Structure 1
């Protein structure tokens, strides 16, 4: 007997099911794709990170058509991870959906429960407290670090900010913006001393790392996302240098060490143009 339209699942659910069927076919041992069958969670991890950055780039460029496509690529990554987990009888795509729905409801008691909040800051405080409770519940040992759960695989700037926020939540933080600036100046002096003393490469790495960590601290006190700030700086440098290349080509020249003075001159002009 054919189901009537009223007995059909909603269109969005059918589309999700279609995605899961595509992933299942790709991973089918007899009829699947040899490349997809060869993959493991670890082997596709770099692709997942790449897709996440492509989502970020589409957002930064305000490119909605590209964002739609990149979000689809990222969703596919979730689906194929879930499929691999299901093959191992670990969990399914439905389990992933259930877990995130439960988490969002649990972490928003001011929306789905009877908790009252007065500000966005109070929401953030409640969120961090609930996350800490969840981390503690996951561990059997009685004493855990407030820094537990900050993923090692995060980009270094992102991880530095998260570690600093965790420490700041328990009062371990620089007092204000001026102290953050002073800390950068202190770390810069130590870098200069290390370079002047011709220290070994390990010590130089440590001192430069401390300086970068302090820069993240300053960004945090300014309310700026350090990772996004550096990405924006990369984009600005890229656009400006490419403009220099255009100017040089128009004059029958190319970027080269012999053109350093001209490139410096053009850089200042381009900075004013693209300010």
Structure 2
């Protein structure tokens, strides 16, 4: 047994899993569509490990994400579309093309001699991606933003793209004014008990919140994730205190839980000082 397996060993392992003669029955049944759920799940598990700074699990989850690429590449090779090495080649070429400030003349070995301005790099990146979309006959500004992205992340990407052509609010205050307008429309929909309109206005309100976050240079996905984590910690405080009283949340009144919630907020505030 080798001291450390290589990428080539992993590719061989994948081919064995898909080998009709002695391969894994489960792996043999899979196709591109059937493993997409696992791909999304593995990506989220990696992000979760990173957020918790769990180094051992980061290594493990990176391997799981890599395996997804290996699996798709094996399926593609079986269909004579491309193989893993072509995936690596295409990726390397794309990254060289998108980083002319690092690889001048499109050469992997050359180096840029001079200062690199971050804002110039951002504009250059947008121009390059625009040219790439034109080459792919994706003429619509939003054509290449995947529908499968989580709605919050997709909203951020769409708004950023629209802003690049000047279709944007002038300031955070203008976006906040729009938020108030959308909130009033939601209130009207609720008053009219119009379920379809309530859903639509709720979506508009959320979209507007993302817009405000972008203007304030706040990552909406990250901000909401932090709030989710904060909510989880505070309610765990509520549950633990109720448990010490021999109660569960189902046994407690709203007033009791709300009081413990406020105690948790105060405790966190004192700890942060």
TM-score (norm 1): 0.90
Q: Is the aligned partner of 1:195 residue 2:186?
A: no
Once superposed, what is the RMSD of the aligned Cα atoms? 1.9
Counterpart secondary structure, 2:33 = helix
Q: Which residue of 2 aligns with 1:77?
A: 68
Matches of 2:119 and 2:177 in 1, distance apart?
Answer: 27
C-alpha distance in 2 between matches for 1:42 and 1:274: 45
More helix by share: 1
Would you say the 8 A contact 2:101–2:116 is kept in 1? Answer: no
Whether 1:166 and 2:161 are equivalent positions in the alignment is: yes
The CA distance in 2 between the partners of 1:76 and 1:115, in whole Å, is: 37
Shift of 1:54: 0.9
How many residues are aligned here? 261
Matches within 5 A, 1:59-74: 59-74=50-65
Shift in Å at residue 272 of structure 1?
A: 2.0
Matched residue, 1:184: 179
2:24 paired with 1:24? no
The whole-number CA distance in structure 1 between the counterparts of 2:70 and 2:247 is 50
* Deviation by residue 1:157-198 (Cα, 9 ceiling, x = unmatched): 000011111110000000011111111111111111110122
Aligned counterpart for 1:218 among listed residues 212, 217, 221: 212
Moved over 4 A (4+): 114-118
CA change 1:66–1:268 in 2 (3 A) is same
Deviation at 1:212, TM superposition (A): 0.3
Please report how far the alpha carbon of residue 41 of structure 1 lies from its aligned counterpart in structure 2 after TM superposition: 1.1
Offset, 1:274? 2.7
Q: CA deviation at 1:229?
A: 1.4
Question: Would the aligned equivalents of 1:110 and 1:117 in 2 still touch at CA under 8 Å?
Answer: no
Residue 204 of structure 1 corresponds to which residue in structure 2?
198
Aligned position for 1:89: 80
In structure 1, what is the equivalent of residue 36 of structure 2? 45
Q: Distance in 2 between matches of 1:259 and 1:52?
A: 39
Structure 2 CA distance for aligned equivalents of residues 222 and 233 of structure 1: 17
Give the structure 2 partner of residue 246 of structure 1.
240
Task: Please show how residues 102-117 of structure 1 align to structure 2 within 5 Å.
Answer: 102-113=93-104
Shift of 1:257: 6.4
**Partner Cα separation in structure 2 for residue 66 and residue 224 of structure 1:** 27
Q: Which runs of 5+ in 2 are unaligned?
A: 105-111
Taking structure 2 as the reference length, the TM-score comes to: 0.91
Any gaps of 5 or more consecutive residues in structure 1? Answer: 1-10
